[in-house]
Structure 1
Amino acid sequence: MSDISRRALLGAGGGLALASASMVSGRVQAASIPEAPTMAEATTQPPLVPTSGVDYQPVVTLNGWTLPWRMNGDWKEFHLVAEPVVRELAPGMNAHLWGYNGQSPGPTIEAVEGDKVRIFVTNKLPENTAVHWHGQILPNGMDGVGGLNQPHIPPGKTFVYEFVLRKSGTFMYHPHSDEMVQMAMGMMGFFVVHPRDPAFRRVDRDFVFLLNAFDIEPGAYVPRVMTMLDFNLWCWNSRVFPGIDPFVVAKGDKVRIRFGNLTMTNHPIHMHGYDFKVSCTDGGWVPENAAWPEVSIDVAVGQMRAFDFVAEHEGDWAIHCHKSHHTMNAMGHGVNTWIGVDKAAPAARIRRLAPDYMPMGTAGMGEMGTMEMPLPENTLPMMTGWGPFGPIEMGGMFSVVKVREGLAADDYSDPGWFDHPAGTVAYEWTGEIPEATRADAPAPETANYRAVDPRTRTNAPASGGHHDH
């Protein structure tokens, strides 16, 4: 592209705006800084199609967007702004986070193997920062570890990173300056390097997202940054279901889904209705003859994974983390388990003081998917989201792969719920149900219990006898 993409400015949902940096440090003069686009929308934006240079299939960032660039000689220039942002996690809940260019995570950076990239990073945070380019092979002084191989970027300053993209693949960026706080506040972004050969491992649709997590108390807006494991909001790109957009693909498309994990635990990502081939990690491409089949792929902390499949089966197919508590919102880890407990008597007494009291949990938690309960401001219910057959009873790391016949190549709009062909939906059986036949259980043997003196080397005889010590 010869300038910041006109398509991105006009076609990216109306949330894209431009801001200029105020200060710069390094070799490039202030007058040459590219503008810094920002995004206000929390929905998935159209892919940024290349209009010059090497052709590639652009990625679609789930509930995100791709950062436009400009060409300056033979350098591809980007501008990231680290700043406080407000991110809608799902309708009804906003979080006050730190991110880049108006969002958390920041915009996806896309370029091509062999490109020379120059990335300006302006710091509008209240503290120092630095950016590490996770998985990239680059000069040590561009690696972005504050204090180790570069000075920290002070508030109000702009630093410049310059390096050549030496390999294609799936990468990310995140701070290495007060890392625990800044990543807990939402600072991260995706970095995709496309192959120089447009035909290499090419797919028809290519999706990316990052796994992250927050601990935000009910009614609060700012995450608790000291939490190590006890998070209550498990996110894809700082969104939770039902705020996570679907993956929309056309029947017959070859599809790639890439994701990276910047939470504090591993996540087994499972997709229904398909098996797939694991095609790429942050270390590089898996050779095609070595790609292995899965229906779930675990991604550890700090890792990236990508898998490919051909969208042969129409429908609305669930995709989610298979840790069941990661598909719930606003988890209350201190809530007691009441399954099997008769709460009728105490509930009657409690209602004398609180007439709206509702006893819950005696038969499981599924009823929370249908109950409209008063909640503190800026809090999501644990289960939410409705499908064509009722409550989906999910939250957190959950979305839907929507496979449809006849979609245009550039159509990523939500097609609505799948219209199931007649006779293909599970249904209630209304006929007779025979009694189960059970075999007679044998009478249990009488157990022979006896006391054993632990001070002896062998068990005492059952009767009589003398044991020498």
Structure 2
Amino acid sequence: MTSRRDFFKFAGIAGGAVAAASVSKVAMAALPEPVIQTSAETSAPLVPNFGRPYNPVVTLNGWTLPWRMNQGVKEFHLVAEPVVREMAPGFSAHLWGYNGQSPGPTIEVVEGDRVRIYVTNKLPEHTSIHWHGQRLPNGMDGVAGLNQSAISPGKTFMYEFVARRPGTFMYHPHADEMTQMAMGMMGFWVTHPKAKNPLIDEVQRDFCFLLNAFDIDPGSYTPKIMTMLDFNLWSWNSRIFPGIDSLNVRLNDKVRIRVGNLTMTNHPIHLHGHEFLVTGTDGGPTPKSTRLYEVTTDVAVGQMRQIEFLADEEGDWAFHCHKSHHTMNAMGHDVPTLIGVDHRGMTQKIRNLIPDYMVMGERGMADMAEMEMPLPDNTAPMMTGQGPFGSVEMGGMFSVLKVRKDQKPGDYKDPGWFKHPEGTVAHEYTGPLQAPARFKSEGGQSMPLAETPKKQTVVKARKPTRHTEH
């Protein structure tokens, strides 16, 4: 990675024209040096060392793009290029992204900043960038063919506009969008308020990440770009559990989490142990009169949601999408429901022919988290993650909020597992038990049936095996 110290020494070099247009080879010499990052770790917040101060965000398993000041303009350089993204330890994908990562780096500015972004295209096809949710001149909106010419391979374009309102935004292509979004091209944008705003509270921790999804066959590296709904990898910032970093905060910190959805479906994001307020959307801060305490908020396609809460309960709290199939990794969606089927006799006969054969799902999906089944190279187990009490049996869009009273202010290091006070952990009970009360009546009905069925029908529910059956 090019160091941030090297980047800032370029401050003061001349800029270019104001329109979103290609940049000549002569002007290329004056561009900010592109900063490249390939690590999948969560980087520390990038504290501004000049300009208007603000409390920077922490991008989950990501980083913030450095800038230079050029005659009062904040200049950034994005490089659209193929990247290799580690989605979890031992599992990487060949994606498209920006500056060595997918998603690309977060861009942070202050309300009222004039921003200039150079975009260099190193993809095998043309591209553009749409600044999702921004108020800007029409010619800077980034829709190829409508607002600008597409950026051809090898070319550099320049976008310039004023960050007119504070809030939580995104950037992504608006050229061959189906391919480029499916390959991972997207990034986060945060505009901080320039002064005290009655609708924007000060917080001690400010996290952000994008929801994205991929369809990658087990053992392969490249997403299938034609998939509409049946994705098998649901991720936060292109990471799947247990490869998603935890969100580490200090007890009684005011915490903000910004979430953007660039998948093909909605995601009910759920936090354990705390209630939160939805304090912002892609339209800006929400009026305080509309805010309700919730523990789950639905983030629809193309939406941003900004939640805030007081981290006043110590512990390791689950934080995840509440669609159960979105907390699983690849290989699980086509497994039939075999709960209650006794395979013992058949299994031995099959093993005479296939020694490695194993029963899957006879007692439930949790069996799969315990099986030591052979997997193709470059594949993540369907459910995984080892907690202090055993297998967590999760995957996909799942992480942990870690609240600690001894976490230092501004310290984002993982504090390890929570040490529960004595007597506060659920445990096995071995004493006497009374028979539980069970509901026995079938209830009444609003009126008699016109025709009584000759034979009572018992319906056996079958869990959907594919997302298209939801």
TM-score, structure 2 normalization: 0.89
Q: 1:438 to 1:410 in 2, by over 3 A?
A: closer
Equivalent in the alignment of 2:18: none
CA contact (8 A) 2:316 2:417 kept: yes
State how far apart, in whole Å, the 1-side matches of 2:389 and 2:334 are. Answer: 31
Equivalent in the alignment of 2:315: 315
Shift of 1:69: 0.2
Shift of 1:361: 0.8
Equivalent in the alignment of 1:14: none
Shift of 1:174: 0.1
State how far apart, in whole Å, the 2-side matches of 1:225 and 1:162 are. Answer: 31
Matched, 1:356 2:356: yes
- Output one character per residue of 1:71-94: Cα deviation in whole Å (capped at 9) or x when no partner: 000110000000000001101210
State how far apart, in whole Å, the 1-side matches of 2:357 and 2:289 are. Answer: 60
- Output one character per residue of 1:339-375: Cα deviation in whole Å (capped at 9) or x when no partner: 1111112111100011221112111011222222110
Shift of 1:203: 0.7
Range that drifts further, 336-345 or 318-327? 336-345
Equivalent in the alignment of 2:327: 327
TM-score, structure 1 normalization: 0.89
- Whichever of the two has the greater Rg, that structure is 1
Matched, 1:115 2:105: no
State how far apart, in whole Å, the 1-side matches of 2:404 and 2:442 are. Answer: 56
Equivalent in the alignment of 2:206: 206
CA contact (8 A) 2:4 2:35 kept: no
Q: Which amino acid aligns with 2:122?
A: K
Equivalent in the alignment of 1:382: 382
Matches within 5 A, 1:58-457: 58-197=56-195, 200-436=200-436
Q: Which amino acid aligns with 1:66?
A: T
Shift of 1:442: 9.4
State how far apart, in whole Å, the 1-side matches of 2:138 and 2:412 are. Answer: 40
State how far apart, in whole Å, the 1-side matches of 2:178 and 2:45 are. Answer: 31
CA contact (8 A) 2:113 2:162 kept: yes
Range that drifts further, 203-212 or 289-298? 289-298
CA contact (8 A) 1:8 1:48 kept: no
Shift of 1:26: 4.0
Number of aligned residues: 435
State how far apart, in whole Å, the 1-side matches of 2:266 and 2:412 are. Answer: 29
- Output one character per residue of 1:311-363: Cα deviation in whole Å (capped at 9) or x when no partner: 11100000000000000000433221111111112111100011221112111
- Within the candidate set 39, 42, 64, 1:41 is matched to 39
Shift of 1:50: 1.2
Q: Does the residue aligned with 1:38 lie in a helix, a strand or coil?
A: coil
CA contact (8 A) 1:5 1:69 kept: no
CA RMSD, aligned part only? 2.3
Q: 1:324 to 1:34 in 2, by over 3 A?
A: same
Q: Does the residue aligned with 1:148 lie in a helix, a strand or coil?
A: coil
Q: 1:275 to 1:437 in 2, by over 3 A?
A: closer
Matched, 1:25 2:22: yes
Q: Which amino acid aligns with 1:283?
A: G
Q: Which amino acid aligns with 1:192?
A: V
Q: Which amino acid aligns with 1:337?
A: T
Q: 1:381 to 1:438 in 2, by over 3 A?
A: closer
CA contact (8 A) 1:120 1:161 kept: yes
Shift of 1:7: 9.5
Equivalent in the alignment of 1:459: none
Q: Which amino acid aligns with 1:25?
A: S
Equivalent in the alignment of 2:463: none
Q: Does the residue aligned with 1:121 lie in a helix, a strand or coil?
A: strand
Q: Which amino acid aligns with 2:369?
A: G
Q: Which amino acid aligns with 1:429?
A: Y
Shift of 1:441: 6.2
State how far apart, in whole Å, the 1-side matches of 2:195 and 2:442 are. Answer: 70
Shift of 1:25: 2.3
Q: 1:332 to 1:427 in 2, by over 3 A?
A: closer
Shift of 1:5: 4.4
Q: Which amino acid aligns with 2:77?
A: H
Equivalent in the alignment of 2:462: none
For structure 2, the 5+ residue unaligned runs are 10-20, 454-470
- Output one character per residue of 1:39-64: Cα deviation in whole Å (capped at 9) or x when no partner: 01001000000112211110000000
CA contact (8 A) 2:75 2:116 kept: yes
Give me the identity figure in percent. Answer: 65
Q: Does the residue aligned with 1:434 lie in a helix, a strand or coil?
A: coil
Q: Does the residue aligned with 1:33 lie in a helix, a strand or coil?
A: coil
State how far apart, in whole Å, the 2-side matches of 1:318 and 1:222 are. Answer: 30
Equivalent in the alignment of 2:17: none
Q: Which amino acid aligns with 1:211?
A: L
Q: Which amino acid aligns with 2:35?
A: P
State how far apart, in whole Å, the 1-side matches of 2:306 and 2:396 are. Answer: 20
For structure 1, the 5+ residue unaligned runs are 11-23, 452-469
